[in-house]
Structure formats: structure tokens, C-alpha cells
Amino acid sequence: MEQLLKLKDKLEKMTSAELYEYVKENYPENPDAGLGKKKLVIRRILNLEREKMNKCE
């Protein structure tokens, strides 16, 4: 959970263009996750990270 909070802080400091590039690099299977308002993009990224964490458990 702490990792998600750190990631959220990091993402909130990014611009929209930086977020889009971040999504393209880290989530190539979900390129559309970088489109939309900044808050929505951050929420999508956090959801993708939660899904990864749940699959590992």
C-alpha cells in the first residue's frame, strides 16, 4: 500500500505529457490508459498496479 502512495505522489507531480509517456513505456498492453484527464490517468495507473500486486499474491 505504501508503494502505491509513493507512486501516486510521483504521478501527481508529472505533467499530462509525462504521464502519457510513462504509460506508453510501462503499460504497452494498455496504451489508452494514458488518455484523458490527469486524475483519470493516475487512477488507471494505480488500478493497473493493484492488479499486478493481486496477481502476485
User: DSSP of the chain, one letter per residue?
Assistant: -HHHHHHHHHHHHS-HHHHHHHHHHH-TT-GGGG-S-HHHHHHHHHHHHHHHHHHH-
The band of 56, judged by pLDDT with boundaries at 50, 70 and 90, is confident
* Residue 6 cell numbers, joined: 509513493
Q: How many residues does the chain have?
A: 57
The predicted pLDDT at position 55 comes to: 86
Q: What is the pLDDT of residues 13-52, one digit of tens each?
A: 999 999 999 999 999 998 889 999 999 999 999 999 999 8
* CA dist., res. 35 & res. 19, Å (int): 9
